[in-house]
Each structure stands twice: as C-alpha cells, then as structure tokens.
Amino acid sequence: MKYAYYPGCSSESSASAYDVTSRTVASALGLEMEEIKDWNCCGATEYFSIDHLPAYSLIARNLALIDPQETPQVVAPCSACYVNLKKTDENMAKYGQLNADVNEALAAGNLSYVPGTVKTRHLLDVIVNDVDPDVMASKVVKPLTGLTLVPYYGCYIGRPEGSFDDVENPQTMDRLLEGLGATVPDYSLKSSCCGGHMTQIGTDVAMGILRRLIDLADRLGADAMVVPCPMCQLNLDVYQSYVNKAFGASYKMPIVYFTQMMGLAFGMDPAELRFEEGVVPVKSMLEKWRTPVSSTKKRKVRDKKALPMPQALPD
C-alpha cells in the first residue's frame, strides 16, 4: 500500500527525531510513504480559535494536494495534525455549506477537494493494523526485554470518536510495545491531556497536569514514557525540569517516541534514532536495553503516597 505522508510543522523542528524515525521504521516495514508536495501547517488549535473557515481551508489544502487515485490514504504522525485532517474531511462531508465555502477558498489556488476521497490515518494506526504481524516479528532482532515502558497516548489520538482506538482506554501502543518485548504496566492516565499550550497561558495549571502524568509513570517503575505525539513529548520532556522546580521533585523520566523504541527493537543504532535530541537523558534506559541480563534490577515501584506539594512555580 502506498500512502501520502503529512509530516507536520514540528517535524522540521522540535520533533525532527519523530519524523526521521517514522520514515526509517516505515521503510523497514515496507510501507511506502510519499510526502505531500508543498504541504502547509495544519494550524494546530490556534486557527480554530480565531476563524473556522480559514482554519478548515488551510487544512483542506493539504487534502486537495493529494491524488486519491495514487494515494487514497494520508498518514500523519502528529496527533494534532491527524485530528485536524480527519475533522476537516468529516465536517466537509457533513456540512454542505462548509464544503462549498472551503472549496470556494481552495479555488483561489486552483484546487478543490471532494470530502471522503482521502482517508486520514495516524501513523500508529497504520503500523499496528496494516503491517502483517509476521513481518513485524521478523524485524525484531533486539527485543525491549527488561524495559518497563508506559504508553502515553494523550487526549487527541482517540478522537474524533469512532477512530482506530478506544477514546478512554486505547490499546494499540500497549500491544505494539508488548510485541516488541517490553513490560507494559496498566497506566490509567494514558488518554489524559498533557495540557497542550497551557504551559504558555496557565503555568501553575500546566505544571500540575504534567506532574500527575509523570508521577504515576514513575510510581509504576517506568524506564520511559512512550508517546505518539510531538506536543505531548515536548511538554513532558522540556517542562519536566519546571515540574521538578515547582514541586520540589526529582523526576528523570525519559519521554520517547514509539518509533524510536521500534527502531531499538529492530536493532538500529541508537545514534541514528536521535535520542540525544530529548532533554531528559535516556542513558539509563539504553544501558538497560543493551544489557538486560546484567540489568535485571527493576526500578523500585514507589508507594502510592500523596504527591509532593508545589514549591515556587517557575517564572
């Protein structure tokens, strides 16, 4: 199957490691992904907060650039991009006036889009549901045995409802990581929100949200939290030191992409998987992966005691 590939803006900056490993892993699995020529930003959440028509038109332009005869499905690794593309396609099909208005805007660039002609998929969906399990198993040469990994999906990936996974209790990444050899504990906050842009508009609230997510993973003895979304990765990774400062904590939880962990299991060089681009060091996790026999000492699972109270919040 050949897919259109929509990288999203973060792939060229903060989430370049995700983009590189997404392409690498997809190629290893025989998935042919062709990047959309002249794609543009999906607008994240900001555009919809200002004016719906420009927001929908901006996103629909990407769908209009795809030849549905050649690539009838578009793959987005970013959860926000995935939701925006899917929502735009579904709402254009549902609301005739919106469809007409968006296509009028697209006509200014000599483009048009017929809703329903291109199916939007998240990369996780494609990898878990389109790849033959035997093909996946054949690629695993260095299993993630000995690693305890917490899958954190975030609040977007199960939406709109009726997509490829359960909204409240998604399982696709759980199954993937278990298949790669990792131990996957029951993480009850897997679909909770990471706060999104709350770090910019409500720091105290954002720090509380992030602390709650990281603390539970820490108490479960996780060697890392695994994510399928650049925004979730950025918030949990970049702002972890802020959380430590705010609550007098000392979390050192690596936040990695599921494609990076797939690359490890496939025997790829960690340097090629760009782990060093993360803020929280992954050294201990990689050492445990390299020598699972001599690293059988599991991280001690913390007692479920009350979370630390906040100290001075970061400026």
Token pair 């960690």 is found at: 270
pLDDT digits (tens, 9 = 90+) for 249-265: 999 999 999 999 999 99
pLDDT digits (tens, 9 = 90+) for 262-282: 999 999 999 999 999 999 999
Q: How confident is the model at residue 307 (pLDDT cuts 50, 70, 90)?
A: low
Q: Is the pLDDT of residue 36 over 50?
A: yes
Q: What is the pLDDT of residue 45?
A: 74
pLDDT tens readout for residues 193-207: 999 888 888 889 999
Identity at 64, one-letter amino acid code: A
Rounded to whole angstroms, the Cα distance separating 82 from 299 reads: 35
The DSSP symbol for 43 reads -
Query: What pairing do the DSSP bridges indicate for beta strands 73-76 and 32-35?
Result: unpaired
pLDDT, tens digit, 9 for 90 and up, residues 139-173: 999 999 999 999 999 998 877 665 789 888 999 99
Identify residue 108 by its one-letter amino acid code.
A
Instruction: Tell me the domains of the chain and their CATH numbers.
Output: 2-124 (1.20.1050.140), 140-290 (3.40.50.11810)
At 199 the pLDDT is: 86
Percentage of residues of the chain with pLDDT beyond 70: 91
Q: Are 250 and 100 in contact (CB under 8 A)?
A: no
pLDDT band of residue 315 (cuts 50, 70, 90) is: very low
**Assigned token pair, 109:** 């660039």
